[in-house]
Structure 1
Amino acid sequence: MKTLALLSAAALTTTLLATPAHAAVTQWGACLPGQGVDPRQECTTIEVPMDYSAPGGPSVTLAVSRIKTARPEVRRGVLLIIPGGPGSPGLNRPSTLVKKLPQEVLDRYDIIGFDPRGVGKSSPVSCGLAPADLSLTRLKPYPDADGGIAENAAWSRRIAEACARNGGPLIRHISTRNHARDIDRIRAALGEEKISYWGVSYGTYAGAVHATMFPATTDRVVLDSNDDPDPRKVSRQWLANYAVGVEDSFPDFGVWAAARDSDYGLGADAAAVRKTFLDLAARLDREPLAWPGAKPEQLLTGNLLRETLLNALYSTANYPMLAGLMKAALNRAELPMPNQPEEAALQNTAAHAGATMCNDIEWPNSIARHEQQVKRNRAVYPLTAGMPVNLGPCAYWPFKPAEQATRISSRGPANVLLIQNLRDPSTPYSGALKMREAFGQRARMVAVDSGGHGVYLANGNACGDRTVTDFLVTGHLPARDRNC
């Protein structure tokens, strides 16, 4: 789960190769050792076209892992874990999830992980950004304390130019449609006629695009914490939805903090906690606090507090961190040490996320339009202060999308289970309903009365977890949408 960090990624360099891209996996080997890597996890690589419109040209390496079922006699196939982001690695997800998945699921599937193209060990990209441009309140487009966006415009142009200059040829071929094609190449390389997968967050959109482009090769599809798939806006809408999601989920934190008012002093009820947060953020806009150890940002600003809030709402496990930071800032006491990713990881994540979001769809670049959007959004959604509708690097992206965004389709087998928390700070329920509508008769949705980002085996509940497990084991969708 995210705390003060945005996303984590391992930026290890591999090479772009010009080799055929249809070979099946013939050899698995030991994975590079690392913290938490299960000794049963095996690794391999496959080659896929960098540009699917020119399949005979250069290819990129995809790093793939697996933990095989211990009961081959009941094995159904493979369960691919599609990571979120865009920009999150997934190679070691089997090692993490083998500790959580029910045994009846582990018995029936080989658990497959991978780093998406451009991420981690899969031919990673980097835009070579200056350290100051990697600050947590720049990687999301927070406006200035007064709502101005001039600095956002300058930063956005700088990032787009750096990616064009330093991103190499792969930067223009990172897109969700190519991500979906890569998933189907992984399926083929594993020798499977059909593939089951569990996509979380951005992984839901990547999975939905795959299920639309390749419906005949899908088996059992679980989409967890769903993105709004509006093909006119795509990632522009995902960003805008932060405003809704944070408002949906803040009351959970407010109730939690109010119950511990004697410990943190943030307010005796949820409304008082909200006022404390808004007042503190406004004060930090005017008078930032020094934050030793926070790099590249050395100050706790109002925007950094807002970004910390967004990340903390991903899980109740993060609430003490947020409450402790607020208490320290209110009392001007020593601030707790932040938990931050390495610069190389941020470089990789920023480049991959930017490329995906900008290559999927064109973004408007009118500064006047964005100024008006930010002003209105700040008034309606003060917790996020206009960030979700602000200008970003895609406004100046030098490459046009190679293809139109995918319109998620109801054509295909009825084999899609959506699961969604009602109070998700990142992918709100209102957006998930759009995904449900797009899939039509192909899907059912399980709505879980919970906050946080991530449902199955995470922030969900026993009813939701059992429904997903039953679907993966039996393939039976609920007869109708379900509330848990």
Structure 2
Amino acid sequence: MKAAVLYGTLGSLVLSALAVAPAGSTDQLTAEARGTVVAARRAATTKIAFGRCPKSEMLPASVRCGTVKVPLDYARPKGRQIALTVSRTAATGKKSERQGALVYNPGGPGASSMYFPMVAPLPEWKRIARAYDLVGYAPRGVGRSAPLSCQDPADFAKAPTQSPTEPSESYKRERIAQAKAYAQGCGQNAGPALRHYTSLNNARDLEVLRAALGEPKLSFIGASYGTYFGSLYATLFPSHVRRMVFDSAVDPDPRQIWYRNNLDQSLAFESRWEDFRAWVARHDGVYHLGTSAEQVLENFEKVRARLAEEPAGGTVGPAQLQAAFLKAGYYDDYWAMRATALSAYLKGDPKPLIAQAAPRPEAAKDDENGNAVYTAVECNDAPWPTEWSTWDRDNTELAAIAPFETWDNAWMNLPCAYWPAPRQKPLDVGVHPGELPPTLILAAERDAATPYPGALELQRRLPGAALVTEKDAGTHGIGGGPNGCVNHYLENYLLYGRTPVRRATCAPHPEPNPVSLDERSAPRAGLRPSAL
């Protein structure tokens, strides 16, 4: 997110009280707790029949796939069941080295980790893969796991589109209408099932998956949003936790879920956007986009204006440009690619920008599915403001100091103002001292998607948790990535259960190489979280 100085200004924003929807009753929560026990016992008996993965998963033969059934509604555990898809590779070490299954979730909401077992041969994961079966899965609503959809994927992927940082009143009315239509589409497509796509149910599903894998206790890595429902799991089932890693932590304070967390995220992206532009300016000899962050911004805005008049390749407009450069706010290994595309476009060659920013029709279905699950979970999880005036005021104030991402983030979440399903009251994450074994939190100090204060808040709520901070860095999701110091702490914890006494720091990983095409295009060894 943004720099610390900008982050501090959020307290001055006038945020009206959220419209509070009725929370589930104690009886309802008790029924869901009983239902989880029933579902977990059933899964422990039936287990998962792993076999060849469907071709649609595009996984190598070394990865095996299966399904686990979970109740749609945990208050009715014998009612409708949905099947979650699961992937696994067996631990590669000796039998005496095996420590069980390690489950990974990359966040979202709406992301799948079916690919996770493929990291086993990577140098950063080899020793962990010797000790653990690596397990990925598609959470409820995602992929083939009772997929959720809110609109035609072709409409979702429509391009080119606009992305004004100072939207007009007419543009705002247009986006309000789109948000209402999207929320209505979610309700019509999912029907009564819509209310059951929640973070609490994702945590309960994780408990059933643990039982189906035959594990008496859970070893889990959650990244980004995965840290939030991982913390819910730790709160609900502390005695079932063996090892738990929270990589790039969401602030779990119930007052933050989700409206305020998204405002914080928009604020934080401004600083990370400046980090990128400053890096480009330091390499003006390569990119010729300016010798200061301000000059790089001027060139970016010049490209945005040109695309508003004439989209590149007929598909890349301002919104597609914005989406492509937002990724540079998440991961600095995009920096060289994006700077090259911007530079080439201004020199008359739009091809690199088109290659990086144009929508891919073959991905439209998955992208729409991921967005539908993201929206359903966040809208169901908590109260949201239901008056447009609240959104308008808060985002107008915020955009004055953080224009890069503020309005696009608001439009993405605006369906929650008109949501057709009941809202929950967020669970107050936390355990008593001694209830939970030591856990590990990983955080980059300048992470924009999950600002650093969220890691501090999570540590405060989980007694015994250790925090490893990558200083002066902002990549989102740092475990198994390019920082050897971070990976040392991750490996020590997963293999030996060792954590720092309370906090430890790592120097930042090296900045991207602006020249080498090989290094510029090489994928990270780590695992990219999604959305949050």
Q: Is the 8 A contact 1:255 1:269 kept in 2?
A: yes
SS for the counterpart of 1:45 is: strand
**Which residue of structure 2 aligns with residue 447 of structure 1?**
469
Match for 2:102 among 67, 79, 85?
Answer: 79
CA distance in 2, matches of 1:397, 1:75: 46
CA distance in 1, matches of 2:48, 2:475: 40
Q: Is the 8 A contact 1:78 1:110 kept in 2?
A: yes
- Deviation digits for residues 311-343 of structure 1, max 9, x if unmatched? 122222211332133224545542432353522
Matched, 1:400 2:422: yes
Q: Which residues of 2 match residues 44-443 of structure 1 at below 5 A? A: 44-70=66-92, 71-129=94-152, 131-135=154-158, 145-146=167-168, 149-278=172-301, 280-281=303-304, 283=305, 287-292=308-313, 298-301=315-318, 303-331=319-347, 333-334=349-350, 335-337=353-355, 338=357, 340-341=359-360, 342-389=363-410, 392-401=414-423, 403-411=424-432, 412-439=435-462, 441-443=463-465
Report which stretch shifted further, 379-388 or 57-66: 379-388
SS for the counterpart of 2:330 is: coil
Judged with a 3 Å threshold, the aligned counterparts in structure 2 of structure 1 residues 340 and 96 are, in CA distance, closer, same or farther, namely: farther
CA distance in 1, matches of 2:487, 2:153: 43
Count how many residue pairs are aligned between Structure 1 and Structure 2. 455
Judged with a 3 Å threshold, the aligned counterparts in structure 2 of structure 1 residues 275 and 442 are, in CA distance, closer, same or farther, namely: farther
CA distance in 2, matches of 1:79, 1:39: 20
CA distance in 1, matches of 2:400, 2:301: 12
CA distance in 2, matches of 1:42, 1:423: 37
Matched, 1:463 2:447: no
**Which residue of structure 2 aligns with residue 483 of structure 1?**
505
CA distance in 2, matches of 1:26, 1:366: 46
Q: Which residues of 2 match residues 12-23 of structure 1 at below 5 A? A: 22-23=42-43
* Cα deviation, residue 477, structure 1: 1.6
- Deviation digits for residues 354-374 of structure 1, max 9, x if unmatched? 110111012112112222112
Match for 1:40 among 43, 62, 68?
Answer: 62
What's the Cα RMSD here? 2.6
Identity of aligned residues (%): 30
Q: Which amino acid aligns with 1:371?
A: D
CA distance in 1, matches of 2:439, 2:149: 34
* Cα deviation, residue 136, structure 1: 8.1
CA distance in 1, matches of 2:207, 2:238: 11
Q: Is the 8 A contact 1:89 1:116 kept in 2?
A: yes
**Which residue of structure 1 aligns with residue 18 of structure 2?**
none
Judged with a 3 Å threshold, the aligned counterparts in structure 2 of structure 1 residues 137 and 178 are, in CA distance, closer, same or farther, namely: farther
* Cα deviation, residue 397, structure 1: 0.6
Q: Is the 8 A contact 1:312 1:321 kept in 2?
A: no
* Cα deviation, residue 260, structure 1: 2.6
Q: Is the 8 A contact 1:248 1:428 kept in 2?
A: no
Q: Which amino acid aligns with 1:324?
A: T
CA distance in 2, matches of 1:332, 1:164: 46
CA distance in 2, matches of 1:284, 1:173: 44
Judged with a 3 Å threshold, the aligned counterparts in structure 2 of structure 1 residues 51 and 192 are, in CA distance, closer, same or farther, namely: same
Judged with a 3 Å threshold, the aligned counterparts in structure 2 of structure 1 residues 146 and 265 are, in CA distance, closer, same or farther, namely: farther
Q: Is the 8 A contact 1:129 1:159 kept in 2?
A: no
* Cα deviation, residue 39, structure 1: 2.5
CA distance in 2, matches of 1:421, 1:270: 22
* Cα deviation, residue 34, structure 1: 6.2
Q: Is the 8 A contact 1:46 1:61 kept in 2?
A: yes
Q: Which amino acid aligns with 2:429?
A: I
Q: Is the 8 A contact 1:75 1:107 kept in 2?
A: yes
Judged with a 3 Å threshold, the aligned counterparts in structure 2 of structure 1 residues 182 and 137 are, in CA distance, closer, same or farther, namely: farther
Q: Is the 8 A contact 2:446 2:452 kept in 1?
A: yes
Q: Which amino acid aligns with 1:387?
A: D
Q: Is the 8 A contact 1:144 1:151 kept in 2?
A: no
* Cα deviation, residue 461, structure 1: 1.4
User: Whose helix fraction is larger, Structure 1's or Structure 2's?
Assistant: 2
Q: Which amino acid aligns with 2:84?
A: L
Report which stretch shifted further, 405-414 or 212-221: 405-414
Q: Which amino acid aligns with 1:382?
A: P
- Deviation digits for residues 214-273 of structure 1, max 9, x if unmatched? 111011101101111121231223322332331232243223312331332211133432
Q: Is the 8 A contact 1:362 1:400 kept in 2?
A: no
Judged with a 3 Å threshold, the aligned counterparts in structure 2 of structure 1 residues 136 and 82 are, in CA distance, closer, same or farther, namely: farther
* Cα deviation, residue 347, structure 1: 2.2
CA distance in 1, matches of 2:255, 2:57: 41
Q: Is the 8 A contact 2:48 2:68 kept in 1?
A: no
Judged with a 3 Å threshold, the aligned counterparts in structure 2 of structure 1 residues 308 and 365 are, in CA distance, closer, same or farther, namely: same
Judged with a 3 Å threshold, the aligned counterparts in structure 2 of structure 1 residues 137 and 247 are, in CA distance, closer, same or farther, namely: farther
Report which stretch shifted further, 341-350 or 271-280: 271-280
Judged with a 3 Å threshold, the aligned counterparts in structure 2 of structure 1 residues 98 and 83 are, in CA distance, closer, same or farther, namely: farther
